Structure 1
Amino acid sequence: METRIRSEARSYLFVPGNRPERFAKALLAGADAVIVDLEDAVAPHDKDRAREAVLRALPELASVYVRINAADTCWFDEDVGAFAAHPAVQGLVVPKAANTEALAHIDSRSHARLALLPLIESAAAFTALDAICHAPRVERLLFGTVDFQLDTGFGGDGEELSYFRSQMTLASRLANIGSPVDGVTMALDDAGEIFDAARRAQRFGFGGKLCIHPKQIAPTHDAFTPTEADLAWATRVLRAAQGSAGSATVVDGKLIDVPVIERARMILARAR
């Protein structure tokens, strides 16, 4: 199986590309990764100025991601030319990724270790999901739930999108890329709502979540971090497996087998 670029980031914090005074604060906010946004956060008349602001700041913004403008906009080529080959850019977030054409174009102009994070935001994107996952440099998929609801007419991002979250997890696994990242939650001050949304994503096999405010980082991390009960269970399972020397054994009244043991190992690995 091909070795692909991997990321274990639980949180990706957006910061507007036209607000350079916020860049340093975003880097210190505690997110696992920061995305400097040139798309939704920047008005059309401010796109060029924002691009220049990000370029000037890149020496102090090593290893950030940049969300460029979509391939069908007049800013796409200049964004790719500015950031794809820049060594301080860890990856590009590619909005409105409905096929592999834009990804191939970026790939041809990239530095050696640049990662691509396609945003899945339309019904058309799901018809090309397998091809997008297998495209060069794709690190993991991001689910643009707000735009996807707009495109499809779905009236919520809960059970309404369960099928699509499942498909993203399966496609990612088959392509041997990182687990997908769930879309934003609009609540800023409701830590419970943010935690529940991130925990739902985790149950669907997602490994992270997009954040639009630093207040969302802590509950997001909590949702993707094993609980003390999870760790205690995993420790009991591995101790029992070691003590049984390969024979069938029981933990908490339940038979444990190889998949259960592997799940226990994954829980402890996530905690580390």
Structure 2
Amino acid sequence: MSPHPLTWLYVPGDRPETVTKALASGADVVVVDLEDAVAPDRKRYAREATAERLTDPQPLPVHVRVNALDSPLAAADLAAVAALPGISGLRLPKVTAPDQITHVAQTAAWAEGGAPPLYALLESALGIERAYAIATAHPALRGIALGEADLRADLGVRHDRGLDWSRSRVIVAARAASLPPPPQSVHPDTRDLEGLEASCAHGRALGFLGRAAVHPRQLPVIERVYLPTAEEIEQAETVLKAAEADRGAQALPNGTFIDAAVVTQAHRTLSLAHRR
């Protein structure tokens, strides 16, 4: 996986031909969904088709989102897919407590030992309240993110900005736990690319890194917004050049003050710009 994945493309697990197309879509990570994208009477087929499709290593990272951990389907999902050679991670929906992460880490071990990388989706008020405890529950947990559709319903939020506090809470919890910045939740209107762009810009300002998608047409928009601009790259290069010449705090000719934190941010900008 790229050290800075920006696009996470969800595809239904009961449509293996779509999984194949997704692998050639340009997404950084493909997420095969066994949960919300699959009708109840197709759950078993989705699990079996996914297990068959991911028997071999894949050309890019593939995660599987299993069914909710408190459902009877989750155990069967984990047993079927956790040890597959084609799996790079498991996405766990509707997580509300750290012991859920611990339980999965202990039971969904790969054949050679150890748990696969786990990613928790926080989709309720209770999950948000416990964000840091969840984020630090087990070393196998490699990331947390929001599931905004369920969270919106749980909170009764009527305006998108009503989720900003929860978004910031999850971003802070992830960074406090030394996890990567979370990706944004999906933008559900696949044709509203202008709205997607504006939403991504807002998410980037909050501290998200990248975004989940449900259609390949969303991928270029997400990547464009989240990659550093030419101006940001130039500024980062200027900062690092100045810092190399004088390691103390200083001000650039344009008035920008440089200290250790600014230098760190400049390194992050260039690392993201050269991520592939």
Normalised by the size of structure 2, how large is the TM-score? 0.91
Match of 1:98 in 2: 96
1:212-223 alignment to 2 at 5 Å? 212-223=214-225
Which of 152, 156, 160 is matched with 2:155 structurally?
152
Matches within 5 A, 1:170-185: 170-185=172-187
Task: State how 1:184-203 maps to structure 2 within 5 Å.
Answer: 184-203=186-205
Query: Match for residue 256 of structure 1?
Result: 258
Q: Return the alpha-carbon distance in structure 2 between the equivalents of residues 19 and 7 of structure 1.
A: 29
* More displaced 10-residue stretch of structure 1: 134-143 or 189-198: 189-198
Identity across aligned pairs (percent)? 33
Pair 1:42-2:38 in alignment: yes
Map of 2:67 onto structure 1: 69
Q: Which is further off, 116-125 or 177-186? A: 177-186
Q: Determine the structure 2 residue equivalent to 1:265.
A: 267
- The 3 A distance-change label for structure 1 pair 192 and 60 is farther
Contact 1:149 1:156 (8 Å CA) reproduced: no
Residue pairs, 1:206-217, within 5 angstroms? 206-217=208-219
Note if contact 1:142-1:183 (Cα within 8 Å) is conserved in structure 2.
yes
CA offsets 1:217-272 (integer angstroms, 9 cap, x no match): 00101111000010111112222222335362324123322222222221111111
Whether 1:78 aligns to 2:76 is yes
Q: Deviations over 1:79-102 (max 9, x none)?
A: 111122223211111111011233
TM-score normalised according to structure 1 size = 0.92
- 2:57/2:85 contact within 8 Å kept: no
Unpaired runs of at least 5, structure 2: none
Structure 1: stretches of 5+ with no match in the other structure? none
Range 161-170 or range 235-244, more displaced: 235-244
Letter in 2 for 1:18: D
> How many matched pairs?
267
Report the secondary structure of 2:97's partner residue: coil
Q: Which amino acid aligns with 2:264?
A: E
SS of the residue corresponding to residue 89 of structure 2 reads strand
- Could you tell me which residue of structure 1 aligns to residue 22 of structure 2? 26
Match of 1:53 in 2: 49
> What's the RMSD between the two structures over aligned residues?
1.8
Query: In 2, distance between residues paired with 1:146 and 1:182?
Result: 12
Q: Deviations over 1:167-210 (max 9, x none)?
A: 11111111111111211102222322212212221211111211
1:131 Cα deviation from its structure 2 partner: 1.4
Q: 2:143 aligns with which of 137, 140, 144?
A: 140
Instruction: Check 1:250–1:68 CA distance in 2 against 1; reply closer, same or farther (3 A cut).
Output: same
Report SS of the residue matched to 1:21.
helix
- My pick for the range that moved more, 49-58 or 79-88, is 79-88
CA deviation digits over 1:135-193, x for unaligned, max 9?
Answer: 22111112101110001101133x21111111111111111111112111022223222
Do 2:249 and 2:257's aligned partners in 1 also have CA atoms closer than 8 Å?
no
**Cα pair 1:7 1:139 within 8 Å, conserved:** no
User: Could you tell me which amino acid in structure 2 is paired with residue 12 of structure 1?
Assistant: W
Q: Larger deviation: 232-241 or 121-130?
A: 232-241
Q: What secondary structure does 1:189 align onto?
A: coil
CA deviations over 1:10-43 (Å, ceiling 9, x no partner): 1110000001111110011011100000000111
Q: Distance in 2 between matches of 1:6 and 1:117?
A: 16
SS of corresponding position for 2:211: strand
C-alpha distance in 2, partners of 1:54/1:101? Answer: 27
Q: 1:249 to 1:128 in 2, by over 3 A?
A: closer
Which whole-Å CA distance do the structure 1 matches of 2:267 and 2:237 have between them?
Answer: 9
CA shift in 2, pair 1:213/1:61, >3 Å: farther
Q: Secondary structure at the match of 2:176?
A: helix
Q: Structure 2: how far apart are the matches of 1:7 and 1:260?
A: 21
- Contact map agreement 2:106 2:115 (CA 8 A) in 1: no
What is the rounded CA distance, in whole Å, between the counterparts of 1:61 and 1:198 in structure 2?
31
Query: Where in structure 1 do 4 or more consecutive aligned residues deviate above 6 Å?
Result: none
Q: Which one of the candidate residues 14, 17, 27 is aligned to 2:10?
A: 14
